[in-house]
Amino acid sequence: MNDEARFIRENVMAHNKWFEECIPMIASENLMSPLAKEMLISDFADRYAEGLPGKRYYQGNIYVDKVELKALELAKDLFKADWADVRPISGTVANMAVLFAFAQPGDTITTCALAQGAHISTQKFGAFGQRSVNSVQYPWNLEDMNLDVDGTIKLLKEVKPKVAQFGLSVFLFPPPLKELEDTFNEIGCLVWEDCAHVLGLIAGGQFHDPLREGVNIISSSTHKTFPGPNHGMLLGANLTDDQQKALEKAVFPGVTSSHHLHAMAALAITLAEMKVYAKDYAAQAVKNSQALGQALYELGVPVLCPDLGFTKSHAIAVDVAQFGGGKDIAQKLEDANIICNKNMLPWDESAVRPSGLRLGSQEMTRLGMKESEMKEVASFIARVCKGEDPAKVKEDVKAFKKDFVSVKYCFNENEPAYGYRKLVE
């Protein structure tokens, strides 16, 4: 090993050790199971496949096809979908595939604004802008952090979008799809929801059931509340054969070549695990985020939507403007080994210096934390917000975290074909 390789390995190992001692609260991250991680270092990582199972352009895909077909079967079963594609290599790539399939430059798509919690791919500087679509943003209700239903119905009827798109990165409450379904049918638009943040909750019967509420296409990453690899997925309902073919063509050769077979296999394992554990995991993640919001609120740290129970998802939005703002507090929390991110709130104009934080419970839940631990976590955050030295809080965080280093809600040492390993070894 030369000095350069040693430097790289040492820093990766230092990162592993650091996160073993941190409280992970970024709402867009999670932990794979040891068995799913094993797929990432299999020979699949060195191989290539283009096209669909049984219709490859390369030889050598006998077992790849079997795994991918099982992943498709599991995805359709878990989400009660008519159609699925597990080839997108990320959530944004899945979004790009939908755009390539159904939106030409100049077409109108309705979506949310960045300050309302939308993902960057839906903005003019993201994938929507790269596709040169006309993006029109829904009216918003600040009080309940959700769409203004009457205003949205009016907007949809006025602009008659080719596609009505939904989904957020600060996804606190389900979108009012049922209330909008008659309007979708009236104007004849395709309905698309980016469920990256809440896919695991949907798998567990929490949050909402978009494919039964008028959504035709779900796009998603697979590493947030769905605790799989960095990868992507598409799901569909009530699509015509031509629409399915358009999506498949958009995925390949449109936005992918080979689709990262090791990650696809890790996704297949996670789908199998979530078939068993999703209900309990999703329910606990929601309980934890609500408990965290309540505890912070009682400690004098403003959390949005207290009258609505703060959230119905894994995430909460916190207004830390009075303590110095999202940028400063996120850095101080990192100094205390609490990892989160600054985030725009609906009234913010700057993404660089927003007033808020976004806090997620999904990874803490994966490590076995429950409501009582959320109270302790809230106390650490409040101490930092109120000016206590982060270095002092850090020592308490490290002591607290020692009991939470192993992945839960997954196949473990009791599974006959697999030897369990700890998260950090």
Strand, helix or coil at 147? strand
Quick one: which H or E segment has residue 292? helix 261-298
Please give the average per-residue pLDDT across 344-364, as a whole number.
94
DSSP 252: I
Cα(146)–Cα(161) distance, rounded to whole angstroms?
20
Instruction: Specify the range with the lowest mean pLDDT, choosing from 32-46, 118-132, 215-229, 271-285.
Output: 118-132
Do strands 134-137 and 315-319 pair parallel, antiparallel, or not at all (unpaired)?
Answer: unpaired
Cα 44 to its chain centre, rounded Å, is: 24
Of the candidate CATH numbers 3.90.1150.10, 1.20.1250.20, 3.30.565.10, 3.90.800.10, the domain formed by 278-401 belongs to: 3.90.1150.10
Domain boundaries, the chain: 34-271, 278-401
Helix, strand, coil shares, percent, the chain, to 5: 45, 15, 40
Give pLDDT, residue 85.
Answer: 98
Q: What angle do CA 142, 220, 352 make, to 5 degrees?
A: 50
pLDDT tens, position by position, 149-165: 999 999 999 999 999 99
Residues paired with 359 in a beta bridge: 316
Given a contact cutoff of 8 angstroms between Cβ atoms, the answer to whether 200 and 182 are in contact is no
Cα(365)–Cα(287) distance, rounded to whole angstroms?
10
What is the phi/psi pair of residue 190, to 5°?
Answer: -80, 140
Number of Cβ within a 10 Å radius of residue 104: 11
pLDDT tens, position by position, 8-58: 999 999 999 999 999 999 999 999 999 999 999 999 999 999 999 999 999
Q: pTM of the predicted model, to two decimals?
A: 0.94
Give pLDDT, residue 124.
Answer: 77
Given a contact cutoff of 8 angstroms between Cβ atoms, the answer to whether 195 and 168 are in contact is no
Instruction: Specify the range with the lowest mean pLDDT, choosing from 4-8, 76-80, 413-417.
Output: 413-417
Give pLDDT, residue 129.
Answer: 76
Given a contact cutoff of 8 angstroms between Cβ atoms, the answer to whether 33 and 229 are in contact is no
With a cut of 60, say whether residue 423 has pLDDT above it. Answer: no
Give pLDDT, residue 414.
Answer: 61
Cα(146)–Cα(141) distance, rounded to whole angstroms?
6
Amino acid at 382: A
The two three-digit tokens of residue 116, written as one number: 């309302």
Asked whether the CA dihedral 381, 384, 390, 395 is positive or negative, the reply is negative
Number of Cβ within a 10 Å radius of residue 137: 16
Architecture of the domain made up of 34-271: 3-Layer(aba) Sandwich (3.40)
Between the CA atoms of 260, 263, 264 and 268, what dihedral angle is there, to the nearest 10 degrees? 170
328 pLDDT band, cuts 50/70/90, is very high
Long-range contacts of 351-356 (CB under 8 A, 24+ apart): 351/114, 352/327, 353/325, 353/326, 353/327, 354/325, 354/326, 354/327, 355/319, 355/320, 355/321, 355/325, 355/326, 356/317, 356/318, 356/319, 356/320, 356/321, 356/326
